[in-house]
Structure 1
Amino acid sequence: MSEFQGLAALVTGGCSGIGAATATLLRASGAQVAVLDVAIDHAPDDVLAIKCDISDPRAVDEAVATAVAELGGLDVLVNNAGIGAVGDIAQNEDAEWARVLDVNVTGIARVTRAALDHLRRSPHAAVVNLCSAVAFIGVRQRALYSASKGAVHALTLAMAADHAADGIRVNAVAPGTVDTPWVGRLLDGAEDREATARALRQRQPLGRLVSAEEVARAVVGLASPGAGSTTGAVVHVDGGMVSLRL
């Protein structure tokens, strides 16, 4: 695979889960890849790993500048970094709301803002944001997380409109429940791990969790130069969670 040959990509949250799977696939597809993460000990092979907390504006500016300098430019940005939250509207304090929205929404703005001038120079500029099925359907005990991902959906459309004239395509992928370390931690904290795991599987019509690699394929497909007329789109990789009722 060489559809990204000669292109440079940056993936936030790129050292685990969906981010690591995406970085690995981009690299296998020919791209030079940098990843940003708060912990880089387990970065994918053959990528530039930069430690960065995307809630820190100065750290973001420095990390993006370093990535661009090392890669020789920037063509693809994958805004994958995010954090979860559990609870109904009464169960998360204001500080938790501020923290989750800062990472999941403002973090996308920070990283994209730092990357924007570099993306404008690319003939194949693409941004892919990680959204979620919970931006489109109500799921119990996910009030704060759902609000953040609903904002990502709206932000993706606004970014696509703002930067179409710059030649920058902006799309999103909305996964269902993905087999990632975050879900593993959620299960570890459950009173009945097996019952909780079964419920997570069963709320998706295909009856299983989505794999990180399946989400990565959708992300890379949207970022590909071959998707040059696709912008303002949201691809659902959710086992039918949003659209099917069996």
Structure 2
Amino acid sequence: MSSPQIIDLNGKDIYFFGDSITLGVNASITYSSIVTDAFNGTFVEGNGTVGFANSGATMMKQNPVNVIGFPNMEDWATPPYTPIYNPLTSGLLFVSFLTNDVGINLPNYSLANFNTAIDNVVAGLNNAGWPNNRIKFNVRYYLTAQGLDYTSLIATTPADITRYNQFADALKSKLDGYGIQYFDHWDILSQIPDVETHLDAEGRHIDNYLHTFVADNIIQNCTI
């Protein structure tokens, strides 16, 4: 069986929009840096510590915005945050939000509003010229039910894995409809022995070791 063809972006820009997992909380080596190096791309520094990643960021823009005081991808999916696509310099744009949308288990943070947010994000990226084959989404990583409990932050009722999977399935269904490639890392990570020892005390953030598996899944399967 032949090896997959690894993408060579020849120095083109790669953008990473995400939350604290993309940011690299509980890690010093992130999947974004590994992927950028593997694709011979240029990592674009944004308004976050890692690309455009920010702890607490969500896909949805709800009222109040955002109840835990952080950005959202509905705003970020428009200039000046999202760059205008340039085929000479633009490589890939990664979008990675789910955990906070699920954990903020409040009426406005509903499955219906999440679906609307996905449509708005894709429309925003398309309006900035990004073709769907250059947009990539990360869906699930691995976490525990504890990692979805935001009652110490804002929620009155903890979210659970059922809600997490419902939102993930909705995201994948939407992306299938748009023909946008996504990476669901749950199955790969959940098979790693003692995987929970590679999460932080919150049961939410993956460590360097798991970041390498996330990166490899993207590198081996990404297409343009």
Normalising to structure 2: TM-score of the pair? 0.54
How far apart, in 1, do the equivalents of 2:34 and 2:23 lie?
Answer: 13
The CA deviation at 1:79 is 1.0
Q: Is the 8 A contact 1:9 1:76 kept in 2?
A: yes
- Taking a change above 3 Å as real, the CA distance of residues 156 and 53 of structure 1, as seen in their structure-2 partners, is closer
How far apart, in 2, do the equivalents of 1:116 and 1:17 lie?
Answer: 30
Question: What SS does the aligned partner of 1:11 have?
Answer: strand
Where does the alignment leave 5 or more consecutive residues of structure 1 unmatched? 87-94, 187-199, 201-208, 230-246
Matched, 1:56 2:61: yes
Matches within 5 A, 1:41-52: 43-44=49-50, 47=51
- Taking a change above 3 Å as real, the CA distance of residues 85 and 75 of structure 1, as seen in their structure-2 partners, is closer
Match of 2:33 among 24, 28, 40: 24
Where does the alignment leave 5 or more consecutive residues of structure 2 unmatched? 1-5, 66-71, 150-157, 191-195
CA RMSD of aligned residues (A): 4.8
Question: What SS does the aligned partner of 1:130 have?
Answer: coil
Matches within 5 A, 1:65-214: 65-69=79-83, 72=86, 73=90, 75-80=92-97, 82-83=99-100, 96-98=105-107, 105=114, 109=118, 111-117=121-127, 121=131, 123-132=133-142, 144-164=159-179, 168-174=180-186, 175-176=189-190, 177=196, 179-180=198-199, 183-184=200-201, 186=202, 211-214=206-209
Question: What SS does the aligned partner of 1:77 have?
Answer: strand
How far apart, in 2, do the equivalents of 1:18 and 1:112 lie?
Answer: 29
How far apart, in 1, do the equivalents of 2:95 and 2:221 lie?
Answer: 17
- Taking a change above 3 Å as real, the CA distance of residues 4 and 214 of structure 1, as seen in their structure-2 partners, is farther
Aligned amino acid, residue 171 of structure 1 = F
- Alignment-derived partner of residue 152 in structure 2: none
The CA deviation at 1:118 is 5.1
Alignment deviations for residues 99-155 of structure 1 (CA, whole Å, 9 cap, x no partner)? 7658x9569725445334557526544222125466xxx99x976231332123312
Q: Is the 8 A contact 1:7 1:32 kept in 2?
A: yes
The CA deviation at 1:36 is 7.4
Greater Cα offset, 105-114 or 12-21: 105-114
Match of 2:16 among 10, 16, 29: 10
Aligned amino acid, residue 181 of structure 2 = R
Using the aligned pairs only, state the percent identity.
3
Q: Is the 8 A contact 1:126 1:223 kept in 2?
A: no
